[in-house]
Amino acid sequence: MFGLWKKQQLKKQYDEMLLADIDTAKRNWDNARQTQAAVYDSDEQLVAETELAKAKYYFLYLEAKRRQIKGHIQSSVIDH
């Protein structure tokens, strides 16, 4: 019974950290896309870095969705 409160607090703390990581990953992905669009002749490394940033963001987003975290995440932030 006493461990339940601590477990809930720990879950809340990690959920907040996940939301912060999602925000950071989204900014990094947006930055990588803008850099790739701004460069006239993008090479394979730049494309790979953009795809890596996208994969990190999607991974964190799906983890938040799996955990059913309610926060400031909007479904409109994903561009398909």
- In sequence order, what DSSP letters do the residues of 41-76 get, joined into one string? S--HHHHHHHHHHHHHHHHHHHHHHHHT--SS--GG
pLDDT in tens, the chain (80 residues): 567 788 888 888 999 999 999 999 999 999 999 999 998 887 899 999 999 999 999 999 999 999 998 776 455 455 54
Angle (CA) 42 76 23, round 5°: 65
CA–CA distance, 12 with 7 (Å, rounded to integer)? 9
Contact 42, 63 (CB under 8 A): no
pTM reported for the whole predicted model: 0.78
